[in-house]
Amino acid sequence: MSGVPRSTTALTEQMIAALIPAPSPRARPARPPLPRLPEPFTPPGYPADPQLDLAKLDPSGRVSARLLLDLLHWPTGHRLRFDVADHAITATTSGSGRHVVGARNLLPIPAAARQLCHLAAGDTVVLLADPARDLLVIHPAQLVARLLGARSGPGHAG
């Protein structure tokens, strides 16, 4: 055995830790200002602002969107095209669209689009109607809630 007692090692480690200064607190950098968005252009005859609504998917993958479909002037039988990007489904007018606005203003969301956005029967969606662009955007409500929560969470200066 060596002649160095065990307690010496513990003292040496404590002495080195005592010589290392504690890190100084850093000030958080200031948030850069948000860019200023251009003023929206609204063609004559269209409402100035997009409108929001909430809906639940029925077992057939349809949502009731009477107010927004009326705002967009999409009657029963109106032909639509659906696309998916960034976990959102967009619906636009298309003369050759394979999907149509159903009876009682039910909007049928294609199964492939629902699967890509992980939507199932009973899920809540946020609908955004933009009449100026003849566009309806469908977002999963959970995604919108997460985004809003992250935007308004602790440490956010709004």
Whole-prediction pTM value?
A: 0.64
In whole angstroms, give the CA distance from residue 18 to residue 84. Answer: 58
Pairing of strands 62-64, 106-108: antiparallel
Q: Quick one: pLDDT at residue 58?
A: 94
* CATH 3.40.1550.20 is held by the domain 51-150: yes
DSSP 74-139: --TT-EEEEEEETTEEEEEE-TT-SEE--GGGEEEPPHHHHHHTT--TT-EEEEEEEGGGTEEEEE
Q: Quick one: pLDDT at residue 28?
A: 77
In whole angstroms, give the CA distance from residue 140 to residue 107. Answer: 15
Query: Per residue of the chain (158 residues), what is the pLDDT tens digit?
Result: 556 555 555 555 556 666 777 777 777 778 888 778 777 665 565 555 789 999 999 999 999 999 999 999 999 999 999 999 888 999 999 988 899 999 888 999 999 999 999 999 999 999 999 998 999 999 999 888 888 887 766 655 55
Burial of 12 from C-beta contacts in 10 A (0-12 / 13-18 / 19+):
exposed
Q: Quick one: pLDDT at residue 54?
A: 94
The single residue listed with the structure tokens 């000030």 is: 27
Domain ranges of the chain: 51-150
Q: Quick one: pLDDT at residue 126?
A: 95
Q: Quick one: pLDDT at residue 8?
A: 53
